[in-house]
Structure 1
């Protein structure tokens, strides 16, 4: 869910300038008030347009157009499949985006992925960047199996280690196969090799 991606960005010192729902998007150059967005979406069950009236001066709501037209350093598509098109990718590249990380299952179309790769930016595919949900399920299973209960901080530390490992594996695999910086290739090959090794270990092949 995008709101938790925004929380993490702020925790690391970043500034979120735009976010959207299915009706439109908001822009707040002073930085999105993530607590207010959570209140609107999770407590009030409202729409993102409600943010402007509650936030006041400096916040804008845009019903038409695309959130990907907003200039940014990092873009995080976190909603639905194929939400970020080749046209959107071209707009992001024109506006100087440096990195795109998928926070959903295949939110970028193949045309968008090709544009990002051709543009030489850092592009993290969902199979790697969006692995946190599956990883957390595995951590929950580990707790259940050991009849243990971890604190939020313990779980987050374990998840952070898992995600660092995924990043390092993708980067190292891309380097090994002659495509440094290509996280798409690195994630695909690293995932395939890991599954193949697990099958061999079980005597399947």
Structure 2
């Protein structure tokens, strides 16, 4: 999703239907940020559109049971157009200020964007290395792959990004792999790449 809100749309074929996975939806506003939201839905693809019904799931930030959906059924519509998808949903399980409806843009392979999770970046760029450039007020990490700097990023860990419990200020200059970071961290700022 582009604009002020950030989100991730994943479409996965499942037999004759498609699994629609949505996450994100909150404005970036520091401590006032609403919790991110998620939903899973399934439906058929016809004429460039998926009309899906929300299904029970266990997510990272939210879980939804069959009983929840019986009380409040929900749908999601995904309209595909080249490199974009327009999503509208009547799902009401998100916190105040979080919304999964909007325009989603396909990222180029290996692209790094605000809202990306470390776990997803690790899967997309498994051989990348990160150098901790500085640690105040928030740590900046240079992401490099094949000797080329892809971007400089900040995560939402407030200098507590390292999985081993160290403060990133204690590791300035260290070069690490994705496994050194907490997998649930999200990118909050991306600076342009430099070679």
TM-score normalised over the length of structure 2? 0.29
Higher Cα radius of gyration = 1
Q: Which structure shows the bigger proportion of residues in strand conformation? A: 2
TM-score normalised over the length of structure 1? 0.28
Quick one: higher RCO (CA 8 Å, sep 6+), 1 or 2?
2
